[in-house]
Structure 1
Amino acid sequence: MTVERLIAKNKIHHRFVSPDALIATAILVLRSAKAGAIAVSSDGKYLVGIISEHDIVAGLSIHGSTVLKKHVSDLMTEDLNRTGFAGGSNS
């Protein structure tokens, strides 16, 4: 699925974060976007997952404050079929 299609279909914010970004960075992007979830993409075009406030809170409960130094790929949701965001792979 492309980031563009996800945004159009689900009306999520147009910002995205790299899977290699730190959780601390993702929090700043979420806050500045005033969004509860943002797309995760390596190239800004194809979706590899989403990172949500829920993912971060779950990570915080497991890892404590060290979660801020983890990567987005450690906590992001990759199975978009479970989220309702799926529309087919790379479509």
Structure 2
Amino acid sequence: MKIADILATKGRTVHSVLPWLTVSDTVERLGRAGVGALLVCNENEAIVGIVSERDIVRALGRHGAALLAMPVSDVMTKWVETCDPDETVAHAMARMTTGRYRHLPVVAGGRLLGMVSIGDLVKNRVREMELETGVLRDAVIARY
């Protein structure tokens, strides 16, 4: 299965924030969108970073309440791994596990197509395993 198949199921909506918006604005957007990370994009919609709940919690430990007034660009992860829609789910899961990140923007030809989370990939894998189990169970029952 490919990442494009995941996007076809979950949709291509990507939630983002501008780099100069405050962490307070970012926290509000995370809550309103019900997501764990936002892409940080400039005015040309180019990815300049990603900010996750984890980034914010770690920055809170360093900066305290003053963090809320800081620009999100001060706490975002600047190096953003991306994937191609033709990448396999298994390969993407392996990269996310090794790199210890939970969100992966999907980019093709320099264009943002969507974003997948490790939860999206695990959910897909569980669904595949349930299907395989059902097929095997039916095959065994059919033999007897």
- TM-score between both structures, scaled by the size of structure 1: 0.75
Bigger helix fraction: 2
Q: Please tell me the residue identity of whatever aligns with 1:33.
A: A
CA distance in 1 between counterparts of 2:14 and 2:106 reads 17
Q: Between Structure 1 and Structure 2, how many residues are aligned?
A: 84
SS in 1 for 2:58: helix
Residue 87 of structure 1, CA deviation: 6.6
Q: Of residues 91, 104, 121 in structure 2, which corresponds to 1:85? A: 104
Please report the RMSD computed on the Cα atoms of aligned residues, expressed in angstroms. Answer: 2.8
Q: Which fold has the larger relative contact order, with Cα–Cα distance below 8 Å and residues 6 or more apart in sequence?
A: 1
1:36–1:87 CA distance, 2 compared to 1 (3 A): closer
1:58–1:24 CA distance, 2 compared to 1 (3 A): same
Q: Please tell me the residue identity of whatever aligns with 2:104.
A: F
Gaps of at least 5 residues in structure 1 are 1-7
Structure number with larger C-alpha Rg = 2
Aligned sequence identity (%): 30
CA distance in 1 between counterparts of 2:106 and 2:13 reads 17
Residue 49 of structure 1, CA deviation: 0.8
Q: After the TM superposition, which segments of 4 or more aligned residues of structure 1 sit over 4 Å from their partners?
A: none
Residue 46 of structure 1, CA deviation: 1.3
- 1:45 matched to which residue of 2? 45
Gaps of at least 5 residues in structure 2 are 1-6, 82-98, 111-144
- 1:68 matched to which residue of 2? 68
- TM-score between both structures, scaled by the size of structure 2: 0.49
